[in-house]
């Protein structure tokens, strides 16, 4: 779906009118076109800021160097090149006075961050802080990040936070490459937790990151699922793209284009988990990546909702996910160091009018990944959820014009995301090297105001 307002803004014949009307003028968001995580920072200017006694600054420095850029630690003089990346280690902030380091680091340079620039902060996980004051201050960094993201979002700049544990510093490189790379286009104002609890893979390839892996993407005939199947295949995975038998034509067409293997199945049928497990064992000896993308809405206010609408949404969006995982996990069908990604929604984070069924199912997935993560950690398996906001798909195309226009603009970057933006986050969470992050829910919503 094309964004009419952006088209009018870019057209010399109409741009004066949109300006005179005071309509938003969203920036053209930069998106990654090259190989995932390979050489993302060539030619970029990166500033590294430190807080006193922070423990993650050296790891940030090393990760930036490994990614192909030598960070500077002093901002260049006024008139110098804009800053493409700003990384700040705030793990040393443990008292209210230490928060001043955030002001001191960003106040002088905030206007000098490039369009589509990237900002990443690291802080101590409040749950790991040594004193209540230190926990409060660590949580304070989150407030700073979310607010700064709102202030700079109109320039396409993203601002994110990694809470990193002392024993997980060697796991910062992949989150750094994602959050400071162009793949993070529509992910801003977000927080992830980098921990050492999951058994980690030995090697961390950044190119063809999924070579040799077998992936299942459900609901892959169109929209986010199709973009995800394509993205995982681009990284070298063998992708099985599943959808309803009724979507067979679209599925075959998509699979022909991206060289995926089509599989027609209703995930909510009682025998689907067993059939799926059998399919992957017989065909590939198991699988490595599961993306639970298939999802449905049946919106009604609770007072008007028929019981079968309730049941259908819970069955497809939640019960099928749990049942399929049970079948994959029971006999090691999902191999060690596997990755599971569930599609939640900002409706699951914040709730939404007319979506009690949908929001219940999507919030449940947030709880599900958090509870599963420690159970799967000894096998090196990571499980996370992504929560999209307004993404330009067939679903949002169907909205009435005004609802769609409002939904599109109510975020920090003033435009909708693309299926590819969600697929980038899913690809990142599917990477073997992302072993530090499990149990998290990351929104891909341009920092939508809903649930902010």
What is the number of helices (H) and of strands (E) in the chain? 16, 12
Among 84, 165, 173, 243, binds ligand NAD (CB under 6 A): 243
Of 428, 436, 408, the closest CA to residue 210 belongs to: 428
Residues near 377 by beta carbon (within 8 Å), at least 6 away in sequence:
197, 198, 199, 438
Here the tokens at position 449 are 């105001």
Candidates 59-67, 103-111, 275-283, 294-302 — which segment interacts with ligand NAD by CB under 6 A?
Answer: 294-302
At 120, is the secondary structure helix, strand, or coil? strand
If one asks whether residue 294 binds ligand NAD (CB under 6 A), the answer comes out as: yes
Nearest residue (CB) to ligand NAD, 32 versus 266: 266
At 192, is the secondary structure helix, strand, or coil? strand
CB of 194 to ligand NAD, least distance (A): 25
**Interface pattern 167-206 for ligand NAD (x via CB under 6 A):** ----------------------------------------
If one asks whether residue 218 binds ligand NAD (CB under 6 A), the answer comes out as: yes
Nearest residue (CB) to ligand NAD, 175 versus 388: 388
* Contact criterion met (CB below 8 Å) for 159 and 116: no
For ligand NAD (CB under 6 A), the number of binding residues is: 27
* Contact criterion met (CB below 8 Å) for 192 and 435: no
If one asks whether residue 359 binds ligand NAD (CB under 6 A), the answer comes out as: no
If one asks whether residue 97 binds ligand NAD (CB under 6 A), the answer comes out as: no
Element (H, E) at 310: helix 307-314
If one asks whether residue 450 binds ligand NAD (CB under 6 A), the answer comes out as: no
DSSP for 192-216, please give it. Answer: EEE-S-SPPPS---SSSTTTT-EEE
Q: Per DSSP, what are the bridge partners of residue 46?
A: 85
Among 153, 175, 219, 436, binds ligand NAD (CB under 6 A): 219
Radius of gyration of the chain (CA): 22
Among 172, 267, 287, 369, binds ligand NAD (CB under 6 A): 267
Candidates 133-141, 144-152, 200-208, 263-271 — which segment interacts with ligand NAD by CB under 6 A?
Answer: 263-271
Crossing angle of helices 320-330 and 272-284, in 10° steps, is: 40
Nearest residue (CB) to ligand NAD, 18 versus 361: 361
If one asks whether residue 221 binds ligand NAD (CB under 6 A), the answer comes out as: yes
Q: Which residue has the tokens 């801003």?
A: 188
Candidates 55-63, 115-123, 191-199, 291-299 — which segment interacts with ligand NAD by CB under 6 A?
Answer: 291-299
Q: Which residue has the tokens 């209210």?
A: 96
Judged by CB under 6 A, the chain residues 40 through 59 that form the site for ligand NAD are none
The 191-194 sheet, strands edge to edge: 46-50, 83-89, 113-123, 158-164, 191-194
b/e code 89-102 from CB counts within 10 Å (16+ = b): bbbbbbeeebbebb
Nearest residue (CB) to ligand NAD, 66 versus 266: 266
| Active-site residue (options: 36, 163, 186, 358) | 358
CB of 7 to ligand NAD, least distance (A): 20
If one asks whether residue 266 binds ligand NAD (CB under 6 A), the answer comes out as: yes
* Contact criterion met (CB below 8 Å) for 157 and 180: no
**Interface pattern 389-418 for ligand NAD (x via CB under 6 A):** -xx-xxxx----------------------
Nearest residue (CB) to ligand NAD, 54 versus 388: 388
Here the tokens at position 39 are 């050489």
Candidates 71-79, 97-105, 219-227, 332-340 — which segment interacts with ligand NAD by CB under 6 A?
Answer: 219-227
**How many beta carbons lie within 10 A of that of residue 431, not counting itself?**
25
CA distance 191 to 4: 32
Nearest residue (CB) to ligand NAD, 133 versus 269: 269
CB of 6 to ligand NAD, least distance (A): 18
Listed in order, strand segments (DSSP E) in 22-100 are 46-50, 83-89
The dihedral built from the CA positions of residue 425, 364, 340 and 283, taken in this order, carries a sign that is negative
Among 145, 191, 232, 247, binds ligand NAD (CB under 6 A): 247
* Contact criterion met (CB below 8 Å) for 390 and 197: no
358 tagged catalytic: yes
If one asks whether residue 241 binds ligand NAD (CB under 6 A), the answer comes out as: no
CB of 26 to ligand NAD, least distance (A): 17
CB of 306 to ligand NAD, least distance (A): 18
If one asks whether residue 431 binds ligand NAD (CB under 6 A), the answer comes out as: no
Residues labelled as active-site residues: 358
Using CB under 6 A as the criterion, which residues of the chain lie in contact with ligand NAD when the complex forms? 218-219, 221-225, 243-244, 247, 266-268, 293-296, 316, 343, 345, 388, 390-391, 393-396
């Amino acid at each position: 779906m094309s964004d009419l307002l952006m088209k009018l803004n870019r057209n010399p014949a109409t741009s004066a009118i949109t300006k005179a009307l005071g309509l938003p003028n969203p920036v053209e968001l930069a998106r990654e076109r090259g190989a995932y995580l390979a050489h993302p920072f060539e030619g970029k200017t990166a500033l590294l800021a430190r807080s006193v006694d922070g423990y993650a600054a050296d790891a940030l420095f090393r990760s930036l160097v490994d990614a192909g850029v030598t960070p500077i630690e002093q901002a260049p003089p006024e008139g110098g090149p804009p800053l493409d990346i700003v990384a700040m280690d705030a793990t040393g902030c443990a008292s209210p006075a230490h928060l001043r380091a955030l002001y001191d680091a960003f106040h002088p340079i905030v206007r000098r961050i490039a369009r589509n620039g990237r900002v990443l902060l690291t802080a101590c996980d409040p749950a790991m802080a040594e004193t209540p004051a230190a926990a409060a201050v660590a949580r304070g960094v989150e407030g700073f990040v979310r607010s700064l993201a709102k202030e700079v979002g109109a320039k396409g700049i993203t601002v994110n936070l990694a809470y990193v544990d002392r024993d997980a510093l060697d796991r910062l490189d992949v989150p750094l490459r994602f959050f400071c790379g162009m793949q993070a286009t529509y992910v801003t104002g977000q927080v992830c937790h980098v921990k050492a609890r999951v058994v980690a893979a030995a090697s961390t390839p950044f190119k063809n990151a999924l070579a040799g892996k077998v992936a299942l993407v459900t609901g892959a005939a169109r929209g986010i699922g199709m973009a995800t199947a394509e993205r995982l295949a681009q990284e070298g995975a063998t992708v099985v793209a599943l959808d309803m038998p009724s979507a067979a034509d679209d599925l075959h067409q998509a699979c022909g284009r991206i060289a995926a293997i089509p599989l027609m199945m209703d995930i909510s049928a009682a025998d689907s988990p067993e059939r799926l497990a059998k399919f992957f064992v017989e065909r590939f000896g198991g699988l490595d990546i599961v993306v639970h993308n298939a999802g449905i809405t049946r919106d009604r206010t609770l007072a008007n909702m028929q019981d079968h609408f309730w049941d259908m949404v819970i069955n497809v969006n939640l019960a099928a996910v749990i049942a399929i995982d049970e079948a994959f996990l029971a006999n090691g069908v999902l191999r060690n160091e596997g990755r599971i990604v569930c599609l939640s929604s900002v409706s699951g984070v914040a709730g939404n009018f007319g979506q009690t069924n949908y929001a219940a199912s999507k919030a449940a997935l947030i709880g599900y990944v958090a509870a599963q993560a420690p159970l799967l950690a000894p096998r090196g398996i990571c499980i996370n959820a992504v929560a999209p906001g307004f993404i330009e798909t067939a679903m949002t195309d169907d909205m009435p014009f005004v609802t769609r226009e409002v939904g599109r603009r109510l975020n920090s970057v003033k435009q909708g995301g693309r299926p590819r933006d969600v697929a980038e986050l899913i690809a990142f969470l599917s990477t073997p090297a992302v072993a530090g992050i499990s149990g998290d829910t990351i929104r891909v919503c341009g920092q939508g105001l809903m649930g902010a």
